[in-house]
């Protein structure tokens, strides 16, 4: 990545100049790696509904929706009005607020398994709190997770997330691979890695740790594992196994809560003990939450003489996030859920057709209101098959750049998250832009 300011003898653009300044004070010039692109990030000026305008004045249709966290697109009028009113009254207090209670009632009303809920500030914190609650409940330290799955930044939750062919080990015994340098060896030892959608291998691995697992953590539609839904067989096997061994089943629905009225878990005939949420439930503001069985959630109950898992946060359940979240989720009713899911299905079908008609070696996966384009001929079944090597990575950058040129923003893995601000026109526009790139790049694609 280069700064590029003033390259080619022309005056630098506003974005080039800004990025030069950013690099002086922000490592890499950014606060989160997702916005990086060569030669500089795009800088947002404003967003409205399905569209974002950057500081160069270019408007694009936004299929990234802040990493799938905006279910109604940008600046939804009802959310803006409610938050504006709350802003005038104050943003955070060392007092509880009524809206936090109303929002807890709302979220618990969406899923019969949500007997109690706790609000935190990010998906990372929600997953971390689920793992710590599971440990406090079971008195065990170890956790199991799916190879390659992204669950945020907690040392334990991030194990194996970036594993690659050089260090991931035998498929029947995936290794615990650290993400950050200096990860404590104890964190690696306390994480058991299982393959996705392979119940037989997963249970054989879990059996070796049957007496010391606090929980099995699973995302029903893991983005980094290929955005393929977990099979009912896999989820059912994990539910049976965890029940037999007094281990908790934890769902990470930080992304997938957008998939159904009560989360993607409603695709299955199972109920996890705990669910981590985040993203859309903040209505555009930082958020996380965990919900689940009363007796498990009560490890956080501070009204007893020994609190098994004390959990606090300065900005947890702040009234801005609670207000935005409540209004957002009230608007995301069953009809709205069904509508965004239909739009995503239309996109998946359209891209599939474009793949067939252009004959390129690509495929599309997804579920609910999301989809992911892979530049490989067959849908990946697990992280190892979904792994993006250097050639595919280069091609994918070409697709993302082409889409930006054509007026569409997608997550840089080739993933899209539909919002209620979209309609058939936005979907069909994206499908046609993808088709144009397939036609243009046919010779290079597998
Ligand atoms: C499945 C999943 N879990 C957890 C997280 C972490 O959430 P946050 O970025 O809010 O910490 C993410 C973020 O992308 C996620 O996709």
Give the CA dihedral 298, 303, 306, 311, nearest 10 degrees. 60
Place of tokens 């096997």: 237
Pairing of β 370-374 and β 191-194? unpaired
The Cβ of residue 399 has, within 10 Å, a number of other Cβ atoms equal to 21
- pLDDT digits 0-9 by tens, 32-90: 999 999 999 999 999 999 999 999 999 999 999 999 999 999 999 999 999 999 999 99
Q: Tell me the average pLDDT of the chain.
A: 97
Mean pLDDT over 308-332 rounds to 98
Element (H, E) at 45: strand 44-48
SS3 358: helix
Angle (nearest 5°) at CA 138 between 136 and 185: 75
Asked whether the predicted pLDDT for residue 269 surpasses 90, the reply is yes
Within 359-423, where are the H helices?
383-386, 390-406
Distance 254 CA to ligand 1 centre (A): 6
Question: Strand 59-62 relative to strand 408-409: parallel, antiparallel, unpaired?
Answer: parallel
Residue of 68, 129, 130, 255 with the most ligand 1 atoms within 8 Å of its CB, for mutation:
255
> What pLDDT is recorded for position 9?
80
Task: Report the separation in Å between the CA atom of 353 and the middle of ligand 1, taken as the mean of its atom positions.
Answer: 31
Name the CA radius of gyration of the chain, rounded: 22
- Of 19, 103, 150, 383, the catalytic one is 150
- pLDDT for 201 equals 98
Model confidence pLDDT, tens digit, residues 84-137? 999 999 999 999 999 999 999 999 999 999 999 999 999 999 999 999 999 999
The single residue of 19, 132, 273, 279 carrying the catalytic annotation is: 279
Using CA atoms in the order 327, 332, 335, 340, what is the torsion angle rounded to 10 degrees?
Answer: 140
Please count the other Cβ atoms lying within 10 Å of the Cβ belonging to residue 402: 17
Average pLDDT of span 349-375: 98
Q: Which ligand 1 atom is the nearest neighbour of the CA of 67? A: 14
Tokens of residue 403, six digits: 């889409």
Whose CA is closest to atom 7 on ligand 1?
123
pLDDT of residue 130: 99
To 10 degrees, what angle do helices 319-331 and 98-109 make? 30
Q: Is the peptide bond before 39 cis (omega within 30 degrees of 0)?
A: yes
Token pair recorded at residue 195: 């393959």
252: annotated active-site residue: yes
**Burial class, 96, CB count within 10 angstroms (exposed 0-12 / middle 13-18 / buried 19+):** exposed
Angle, alpha carbons 202-205-206 (nearest 5°)? 85
Stretch 357-365: mean pLDDT: 97
First to last CA, the chain: 26
Q: Which of 252, 268, 273, 383 is catalytic?
A: 252
Instruction: Say if CB 151 and CB 256 are below 8 A apart.
Output: no
d(CA 54, CA 104): 36
Confidence at residue 8, expressed as pLDDT on a 0 to 100 scale: 66
State whether the beta carbon of 220 lies less than 6 angstroms from ligand 1. no
CB 47, CB 79: distance < 8 Å? no
**21-30 average pLDDT score:** 98
Percent of the chain exceeding pLDDT 90 equals 97
Dihedral angle computed from the Cα positions of residues 428, 434, 437 and 439, in that order, rounded to the nearest 10 degrees: -70
| Residue-level pLDDT at 7 | 58
Are the C-beta atoms of residues 217 and 196 closer than 8 Å to each other?
no
Instruction: Give pLDDT, residue 446.
Output: 83
The tens digit of pLDDT for each residue in 236-255 reads: 999 999 999 999 999 999 99
């Amino acid at each position: 990545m280069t700064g590029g300011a003033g390259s080619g003898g022309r005056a630098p653009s506003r974005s080039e100049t800004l990025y030069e300044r950013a690099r002086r004070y922000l490592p890499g010039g950014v606060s989160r790696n997702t916005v990086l692109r060569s030669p500089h990030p795009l800088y947002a000026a404003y967003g409205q509904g399905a569209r974002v305008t950057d500081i160069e004045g270019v408007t694009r249709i936004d299929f990234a929706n802040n990493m799938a966290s905006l279910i109604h697109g940008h600046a939804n009028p009802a959310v803006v009005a409610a938050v504006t009113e709350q802003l005038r009254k104050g943003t955070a207090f060392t007092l509880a607020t009524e809206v936090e209670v109303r929002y807890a009632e709302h979220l618990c009303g969406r899923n019969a398994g949500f007997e109690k809920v706790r609000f935190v500030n990010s998906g990372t914190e929600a997953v971390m709190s689920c793992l710590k609650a599971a440990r406090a409940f079971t008195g065990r330290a170890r956790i199991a997770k799916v190879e390659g799955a992204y669950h945020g930044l907690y040392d334990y939750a991030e194990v194996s997330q970036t594993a690659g062919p050089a260090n991931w080990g035998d498929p029947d015994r995936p290794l615990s691979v650290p993400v950050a340098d200096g990860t404590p060896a104890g964190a690696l030892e306390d994480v058991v890695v299982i393959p996705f959608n392979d119940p037989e291998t997963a249970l054989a691995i879990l059996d070796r740790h049957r007496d010391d697992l606090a929980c099995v953590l699973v995302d029903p539609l893991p983005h980094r594992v290929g955005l393929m839904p977990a099979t009912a067989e896999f989820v059912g096997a994990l539910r049976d196994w965890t029940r037999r061994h007094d281990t908790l089943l934890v769902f990470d629905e930080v992304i997938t809560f957008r998939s159904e009225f009560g989360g993607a878990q409603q695709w299955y005939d199972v109920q996890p003990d705990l669910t981590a949420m985040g993203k859309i439930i903040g209505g555009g503001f930082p958020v996380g939450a965990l919900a689940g069985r009363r007796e498990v959630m009560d490890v956080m109950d501070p009204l007893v003489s020994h609190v098994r898992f004390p959990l606090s946060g300065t900005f947890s359940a702040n009234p801005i996030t609670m207000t935005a979240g409540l209004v957002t989720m009230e608007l995301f009713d069953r009809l709205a859920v069904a509508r965004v899911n239909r739009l995503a299905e239309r996109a998946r079908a359209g891209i599939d057709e474009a793949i067939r008609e252009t004959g390129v070696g690509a495929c599309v996966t997804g579920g609910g209101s999301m989809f992911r384009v892979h530049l490989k001929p067959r849908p990946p079944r697990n992280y190892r098959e979904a792994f993006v090597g250097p050639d595919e990575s280069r091609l994918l950058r070409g697709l993302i750049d082409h889409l930006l040129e054509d007026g569409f923003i997608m997550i840089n893995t080739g993933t899209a998250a539909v919002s209620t601000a979209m309609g058939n026109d936005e979907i069909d526009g994206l499908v046609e832009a993808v088709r144009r790139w397939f036609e243009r790049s046919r010779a290079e694609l597998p």
